[in-house]
């Protein structure tokens, strides 16, 4: 790349002067892609969101905000080629980039259409009228946007989707946002953000971009503000216990580490469609986005008798996953986001090997020329013989193309192992036995934000284990952080306050329609 991009934060409706910040390098070959800017004035940003962005959004009805999302999504879609060009520097293949870019645009469009199911008014109703006494005195729960600012802190793995999936429910709810992308790959987030600003689709002050240092941002928030975080559990724990967040009861939602599992049913032996579908899905989850998906399958649970067959089938599939320059159409496995991220994967892999054996991959591939400076890593399959007694394979997330194969004895054992993840974003089941499937779902649902069931009849239309759908909740309990993003109107709740309105029917109707 010849032109190094001088990144800028966007605060109070102006692009700040570029600074002499850190260099961001290409995941493919280490060449400099962009320079980070200097520190922004977060006090001014918060003030602008509260004074200008919030009132502008709250003046609009849900339906009008839906139209706004549609216009912004259309603008990004029109210029998405610019994003694809930058996305490859993050190590992403064209397919990986589509997952990020089209996924983000699609999320905006889905929220735009959800707006049509909401009132052309300013309160969202929850449930119906509650009869409180014999006379004309009723109750109604209503939801209204918080009057502060939503702070979005994102992880590096989805520079576009990560921004848009948080922004869609926030803007539809009627709250302005300050977006703080992860530093790695933030040139791609900045490009998508810039398109939205240049489109003029969003009202002044409704979105601002904070690159790099967040300074004393968290010190300045109060109970009408909201923080949505995606990243590691270690950072989440640090930020959610920040004294000001605790003192002012600032809403804090986290999407953090997740040891997602996929279960192959007892009925799905070699030769069945479910067996083949399972192997294909696990291999895809390992290689798509180089395994850097919070929802990726980390633990593949298979009946003991099928352990060898699944291992062999997976190895044969992974052997065909060409590693290399993500811009090359034949590449199936691109690079990790950077050399530090690869070092993390290698370190975590080291911890997993105390309990599991590497049966495929596990090394930095030998690539030539400039690619030797890239952040590539082989797809890596581990096998854990005794997962009941193991701990690391259920708790350490190697955030790359890494998955551990483990045997289970019966449905109860599979449920117990799935739950050893202590709460995950997603679990999938591949089985054609309805009774077994229902028992598994009953056993695991409280530990998983989303459960996907695949069989020969629905596979063609399946949206995939790792794809967070805008219509469905994205978030999981416990280790996964306890957050709940997306899910249509569910995703708007972190940005709205519920209030129970009591009064006569006529008064409640007047409020509801205002």
Q: Where are the alpha helices (DSSP H) in 27-179?
A: 42-48, 54-58, 62-78, 80-87, 94-114, 161-173
Residues 6+ apart with CB under 8 A from 499: 141, 142, 143, 144
| Cα(467)–Cα(463) distance, integer angstroms | 7
Q: Is 182 in the site for ligand NAP (CB under 6 A)?
A: yes
Using CB under 6 A, pick the residue from 156, 187, 252, 408 that binds ligand NAP.
156
Task: Give the per-residue contact string, 75-104, with ligand NAP (x = CB under 6 A; - = no).
Answer: ------------------------------
Nearest to 89 by CA among 368, 292, 333, 334: 334
**Which of 87, 189, 256, 489 is in the footprint of ligand NAP by CB under 6 A?**
256
Instruction: Provide, rounded to whole angstroms, the least separation between the CB of residue 263 and ligand NAP.
Output: 20
Q: Pattern of binders to ligand NAP over 208-247, x per CB under 6 A? A: ------x---------------xxx--x---x--------
The tokens for 411 are 């449905």
In angstroms, give the least distance from the CB of 236 to ligand NAP: 7
Near ligand NAP by CB under 6 A: residue from 29, 100, 165, 257: 257
Closest CA to 256 of 23, 476, 442: 476
Q: Which of 93, 258, 287, 473 binds ligand NAP (CB under 6 A)?
A: 258
Closest separation in Å from C-beta 21 to ligand NAP = 11
Residue 153 binding ligand NAP, by CB under 6 A: yes
Q: Which residue in the list 190, 255, 274, 281 is annotated as catalytic?
A: 255
Nearer residue to ligand NAP within complex by CB, 183 or 497 = 183
**Known active-site residue 294:** yes
Q: Which is nearer to ligand NAP, 169 or 407 (CB)?
A: 169
Distance CA 214, CA 237 (A): 17
Tell whether residue 260 is a contact of ligand NAP (CB under 6 A).
Answer: no
Q: Smallest distance from the beta carbon of 29 to ligand NAP, in angstroms?
A: 21
d(CA 168, CA 110): 9
Could you tell me if 498 and 270 are in contact, meaning their C-beta atoms sit under 8 angstroms apart? no
Catalytic site residue from 190, 274, 285, 294: 294
Interface of this chain with ligand NAP, residues 462 to 501, rule: CB under 6 A: 480
Of 461, 415, 394, 84, residue with least CA distance to 265: 415
d(CA 310, CA 315): 8
Residue 140 binding ligand NAP, by CB under 6 A:
no
Which tokens in the block code for residue 383?
Answer: 């096998």
The contact pattern for ligand NAP, residues 276-315, with x = CB under 6 A and - = no contact, is ------------------x---------------------
Q: How far is the CB of 281 from ligand NAP (least distance, A)?
A: 19
Token pair in block for residue 442: 């009953």
CB 128 within 8 A of CB 33: no
Distance (Å, whole) CA 15 – CA 4: 17
Q: CA 9, 237, 299: angle at the middle one, nearest 5?
A: 100
Q: Could you tell me the smallest distance in angstroms from the CB atom of residue 184 to ligand NAP?
A: 6
Helix-strand-coil split of the chain, %, nearest 5: 40, 20, 40
Residue choice 225, 255, 274, 355 for contact with ligand NAP (CB under 6 A) = 255
Q: What angle do CA 127, 133, 135 make, to 5 degrees?
A: 105
Q: Which span sits near ligand NAP by CB under 6 A: 85-93, 147-155, 164-172, 496-504?
A: 147-155
What's the rounded Cα separation, in Å, for the pair 400 and 403? Answer: 9
Q: Judged by CB, which is closer to ligand NAP: 255, or 285?
A: 255
Closest CA to 27 of 402, 345, 352: 345
Among 76-84, 120-128, 255-263, 306-314, which window interacts with ligand NAP (CB under 6 A)? 255-263
Q: How many residues does the structure list for the chain?
A: 514
Q: Which residues bind ligand NAP (CB under 6 A)?
A: 153-157, 180, 182-183, 214, 230-232, 235, 239, 255-258, 294, 397, 399, 425, 480
Active site residues: 255, 294
């Amino acid at each position: 790349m010849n032109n190094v991009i001088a990144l800028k934060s966007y605060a109070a409706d102006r692009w700040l002067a570029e600074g002499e910040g850190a260099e961001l390098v290409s995941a493919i070959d280490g060449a400099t892609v962009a320079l980070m800017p200097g520190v922004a004035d977060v006090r001014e940003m918060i003030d602008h969101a509260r004074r200008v962005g919030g009132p502008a959004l709250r003046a609009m009805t849900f339906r009008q905000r839906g139209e706004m999302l549609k216009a912004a999504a259309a603008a990004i879609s029109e210029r998405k080629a610019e994003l694809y060009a930058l996305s490859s520097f993050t190590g992403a293949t064209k397919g990986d980039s589509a997952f990020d870019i089209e996924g983000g645009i699609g999320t905006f469009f889905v929220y735009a259409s959800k707006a049509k199911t909401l009132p052309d008014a300013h309160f969202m109703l929850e449930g119906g009228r509650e009869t409180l006494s014999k006379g004309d005195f009723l109750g109604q729960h209503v939801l209204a946007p918080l009057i502060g600012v939503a702070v979005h802190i994102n992880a590096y793995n989805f520079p576009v989707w990560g921004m848009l999936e948080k922004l869609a429910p926030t803007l539809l709810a009627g709250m302005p946002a300050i977006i703080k992308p992860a530093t790695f790959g933030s040139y791609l987030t900045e490009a998508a953000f810039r398109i939205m600003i240049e489109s003029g689709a969003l009202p002044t002050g409704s979105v601002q971009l904070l690159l790099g240092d967040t300074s004393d941002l968290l010190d300045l928030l109060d109970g009408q503000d909201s923080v949505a975080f995606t990243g590691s559990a270690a950072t989440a724990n640090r930020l959610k216990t920040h004294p000001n967040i605790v003192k002012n009861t600032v809403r804090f939602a986290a999407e953090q580490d997740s040891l997602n599992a996929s279960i192959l049913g007892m009925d799905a032996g070699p030769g069945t469609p479910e067996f083949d579908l399972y192997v294909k899905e696990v291999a895809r989850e390992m290689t798509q986005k180089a395994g850097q998906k919070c929802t990726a399958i980390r633990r593949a649970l298979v009946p003991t008798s099928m352990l060898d067959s699944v291992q062999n089938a997976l190895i044969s599939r992974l052997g065909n996953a060409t590693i290399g320059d993500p811009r090359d159409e034949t590449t199936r496995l691109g690079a990790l986001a950077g050399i530090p991220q690869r070092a993390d994967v290698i370190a975590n892999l080291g911890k997993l090997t105390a309990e599991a054996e590497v049966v495929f991959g596990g090394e930095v591939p030998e690539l030539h020329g400039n690619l030797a400076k890239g952040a590539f890593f082989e797809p890596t399959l581990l096998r854990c013989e005794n997962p009941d007694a193991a701990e690391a394979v259920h708790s350490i997330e190697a955030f790359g193309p890494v998955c551990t194969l483990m045997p289970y004895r019966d449905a109860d054992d599979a449920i117990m192992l799935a739950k050893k993840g202590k709460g995950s974003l997603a679990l999938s089941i591949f089985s054609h036995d309805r009774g077994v499937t229902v028992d598994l779902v009953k056993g695991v649902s409280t530990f998983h934000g989303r459960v996907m069931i695949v069989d020969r009849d629905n596979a063609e239309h399946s949206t995939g284990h790792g794809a967070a759908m805008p219509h469905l909740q994205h978030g999981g309990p416990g280790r996964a952080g306890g957050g709940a993003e997306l899910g249509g109107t569910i995703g708007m709740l972190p940005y709205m306050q519920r209030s129970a309105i009591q009064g006569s029917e006529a008064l409640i109707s007047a409020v509801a329609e205002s």
